[in-house]
Amino acid sequence: MKWIGALALVLSGVAQPVFAEAQVDANGWLQKIVSAARKLNYSGTFTYSSGNQTETSRITHVVDASGERERLEVLDGSPREVIRVNSEVKCYLPEERTVIIDQSAHRRTFPGRLAEMPASIGENYHVKLGEVSRVAGRDSQVISLLPKDGLRYGHQLWADSATGLLLKARTIGEKGETIEQFAFADVVIGSLVDRERLKPKFQSKSADWRVVNAKVTDSASGSGEWAFQNVLPGFQQSAAMQRQVHLDRPAAYHVVFSDGLAAISVFIEPAVDGRVERLGMFVSGPFNVYKRANAGHIVTVLGEVPVGTLKQLGDGVEARRK
């Protein structure tokens, strides 16, 4: 019943200045989170969990005159190491003797979960400040983002009170369940970061490894061949590119839609003769996935959004008439 009383105060005009001030403050915290992930030096160990999957990683991020450098090492299961220098990302898979080269423009890795802070975020989410909590031994400000419609999930963010660095992030499903969660177990922020942790473990061993270049090859090709007829309120197209998704197929046309928090990827690639595709809706980790066939192509839509959102967008993908 608390929200009824609060609403009554707002409607009466008594609480309007306080609410406006709190809203500005909440949005200010989101800006801090975006900035801190890019501009601060930090190093620590964090845990990722989704369903029955749990994974621990160590990350080191340093900013200096040369730009951003980052090393991520997965500590569980098969060894993996990701080295980022500014926009170029190299993922080393030693068991497969493979290096995957990509670019970071559209990656949303923890603690850089918020790629940007759009001015329209208040149109899609109720943003409010919560309590001050503790994560990894540090005080943190809780920010809640509650969706205004059924097209997206909710989010809870824990920002370091001193620096704004994201210490914990939780994605919340339609029934209040946790879809996925990232959380630092320990973290060092600032000048005390050990730069030795940036040194790659597998780079010197990879001279004869297979190299897979997943970088964008052509951002324009494909844009005139496909139409997205079902508009998702609040989602804007943030990228369009050609991307090599499978080694045995031509490059896929990859389009990304985002509302600033949630991101949806659409891959359109030619169907392969004799290959049986799994069509329809299914789940892959924290992602919902929707596949359909259209005009000799396979349209794959995936994202951390409700299944209805993916179906609405995917069913509107149509080949333009020539």
Q: Give dist(CA 45, CA 186) in Å, integer.
A: 6
Q: So what's the pLDDT on residue 166? A: 98
Domains 2-205 and 216-319 share a fold: no
Topology of domain 2-205 in CATH is outer membrane lipoprotein receptor (LolB), chain A (2.50.20)
Q: Predicted confidence band at 23 (pLDDT cuts at 50, 70, 90)?
A: low
Q: So what's the pLDDT on residue 12? A: 38
Q: Predicted confidence band at 225 (pLDDT cuts at 50, 70, 90)?
A: confident
Q: Lowest mean pLDDT: which of 6-20, 23-37, 69-83, 103-117?
A: 6-20
- Return the domain boundaries, the chain: 2-205, 216-319
Contacts of 290 (CB under 8 A, 6+ apart): 280, 281, 300, 301, 302, 307, 310, 311, 314
Summarize pLDDT for 233-289 with one digit per residue, the tens: 999 998 888 876 666 677 789 999 998 889 999 999 998 887 778 899 999 888 999
Q: Predicted confidence band at 215 (pLDDT cuts at 50, 70, 90)?
A: low
Q: Predicted confidence band at 312 (pLDDT cuts at 50, 70, 90)?
A: very high
Give strand ranges (E) for 152-277: 154-160, 166-172, 178-189, 210-213, 226-228, 236-243, 252-258, 263-270
Q: What 3-state class would DSSP assign to 277?
A: coil
CA distances 11 to 16, 83, 128, 313, Å, are 8, 52, 18, 36
Q: Is the pLDDT of residue 1 over 80?
A: no
Contacts of 176 (CB under 8 A, 6+ apart): none
Question: Sign of the C-alpha dihedral, residues 210, 211, 217, 222?
Answer: positive
Summarize pLDDT for 99-108 with one digit per residue, the tens: 998 876 656 7
Q: What is the CATH number of domain 216-319?
A: 3.30.200.100
